[in-house]
Amino acid sequence: MYRYGVECLFRFYTYDLEKHFRQHVFEDFQHETLCNHEAEEFSVLGRIGIGLAIASSVINSMLYNVDGSRRAVIFDRFQGVKLDVIEERTHFMISWLHRPIIFDIRTRPRSVPSITDIKDLQTIDITLRILYRPRAELLSKIFCKFGFKICCTKSQFDAIGLITQRTLISQRVSELLTEHAA
C-alpha cells in the first residue's frame, strides 16, 4: 500500500512535470513561430530597404543641378557637345552617356601678369586686369573653340606710352579680345 501511494505520487508528479514541460514546449514553439514571422518581416523590410537604396543612388546619379548664375552645356558621347544651353534648375541625364559641363556666367576679373620687352629695350612688369563674362547663348561654341583656356596678348608700346595712353591700350586689348572671341 505504501508502494502504491509512492507510485501514484510519482506518477502524479511526473504527469505534472510532463504537462508543465509540454506547456513550455508549446509556448516556446509559439514564440519561435512568432520570432520566425518577425524575422520574415525584417527580411522583407531589409529587401525593400536595399531596393530603395539602390533606386535612390541610381536616381541620384541621373540628376544634376545648375545653380543660379551658372549655365551648363551637355557633352554627349555619341554626338559631342550639344548646342543647347541648360538654364538653372535640376535636370535629368543618362549618366554613362551625358556629362554636364557647368560654366559660371557672372562678370569676373582676371589679372594676367606679364614681363614684357618694349620698343626702347627696357623690361617692364605689366599686370592686365580683364573683366569678362561669357555670353550664355554662346557657351557651347565657346567651349568647342577654347575649352577653359584664356589667351593673353603682349603690349606693343614703350614705357611712356603705357603710362600716357592707358585708355587707348585698354580699348585695343578689348578690341583684340572681342575679335578673338568672335
- Give the helix/strand (H/E) hosting 110: strand 108-117
Say how far apart CA 141 and CA 85 lie, in whole Å: 10
Which pLDDT band holds residue 32 (cuts at 50, 70, 90)?
A: low
Which pLDDT band holds residue 147 (cuts at 50, 70, 90)?
A: low
Say how far apart CA 120 and CA 179 lie, in whole Å: 28
- Asked whether the whole model's pTM tops 0.85, one would answer no
Judge whether 158 and 119 are in contact, CB under 8 Å.
yes
Look at 53-67, 113-127, 156-170 and tell me which has the smallest mean pLDDT: 156-170
Q: What is the pLDDT of residues 54-72, one digit of tens each?
A: 998 888 888 888 988 899 9
Which pLDDT band holds residue 118 (cuts at 50, 70, 90)?
A: confident
Question: What pLDDT score was predicted for residue 149?
Answer: 41
Side by side, which strands form the sheet with 80-86?
80-86, 70-76, 98-104
Average pLDDT, the chain: 74
Which pLDDT band holds residue 159 (cuts at 50, 70, 90)?
A: low
| 27/109: higher pLDDT | 109
The percent of residues above 90 in pLDDT, for the chain, comes to 1
Question: What pLDDT score was predicted for residue 121?
Answer: 75
Residue 66, Ramachandran bin (φ over 0: left; ψ between -120 and 50: alpha; else beta): beta
Q: Which residues contact 72 (CB under 8 A, 6 or more apart)?
A: 64, 66, 85, 86, 91, 100, 101, 102, 103
Cα separation values, 169 from 107, 145, 162, 164, Å: 21, 26, 7, 10
Say how far apart CA 142 and CA 152 lie, in whole Å: 16
Buried-exposed string 137-152: b where 16+ CB fall within 10 A, e elsewhere? eebbebbeeeeeeeee
| 173/35: higher pLDDT | 173
Query: How is the chain split into domains, by residue range?
Result: 1-61, 62-103, 107-181
- Give the helix/strand (H/E) hosting 31: helix 2-61
Say how far apart CA 181 and CA 175 lie, in whole Å: 10
Question: What pLDDT score was predicted for residue 151?
Answer: 34
Which pLDDT band holds residue 154 (cuts at 50, 70, 90)?
A: very low
* pLDDT surpasses 80 at 87: yes
| 131/39: higher pLDDT | 131
Cell of 138: 554662346
Give which of 108, 111, 117 is closest to 154, Cα–Cα: 117
